[in-house]
Amino acid sequence: MKKVCLFLALCIAGVMQAQTASSVVVKKGNMFYCGEQQMNRAAYKQFLETECPQAYQQYHQGEQCMIAGLSLLGGGAVGAFAGFATFISQSNFGGLPPEQYHGNAALGLTGFCFSVLSGAGFLCSIPLLSVGYVRMDNSSVKTYNEQCAKQNVELAFGVTGNGVGMTIRF
């Protein structure tokens, strides 16, 4: 009788499995996946805000770096172009005699310096954009998976040709 009860208990336990929902986040292209849930960037940000404050902090810091990088990129490009245009327009590259030259050498030099500084800002935007992108995507996904994701744990009992077995998957 004990063997029959044990056999029935193991068979029933083999059908029932203790399992938590898998919620590991994976990034593919521009989409984020959490199990079967597909999220664009805005949905992923909202997901992190509600599910994992630590990963949301990483994402937010990355966003701030991206904004700073894009500002330097745009401002640097416009400033470099404007400064270089001022430098060219105020310089006497044609070798005109002084009485025919109507440019302002000081303004041309100022335009050149502005162009160089703006170009430096443009170049500084590249690492900011890179760091921001990595924090928004890679670091936030890694932080979520390490600190907030629920791992799959599966416990199953079964009867095989060799006897009774127990399987644990994690």
**Who contacts 113 (Cβ-Cβ below 8 Å, separation ≥6)?**
83
Q: What is the pLDDT of residues 112-147, one digit of tens each?
A: 999 999 999 999 999 999 999 999 989 999 999 888
End-to-end C-alpha distance for the chain, whole angstroms:
34
AA identity, residue 143: T
Instruction: Assess contact for 85 and 130: CB atoms under 8 A.
Output: no
Report the alpha-carbon angle 148-150-151, nearest 5: 130
How far, in Å, CA of 39 to CA of 55, rounded?
15
- Say yes or no to pLDDT of 13 above 80: no
Q: What is the pLDDT of residues 60-90, one digit of tens each?
A: 999 999 999 999 999 999 999 999 988 888 8
Per-residue pLDDT band at 2 (split at 50, 70, 90): low
- Say yes or no to pLDDT of 11 above 60: no
SS3 (DSSP) at 99 = coil
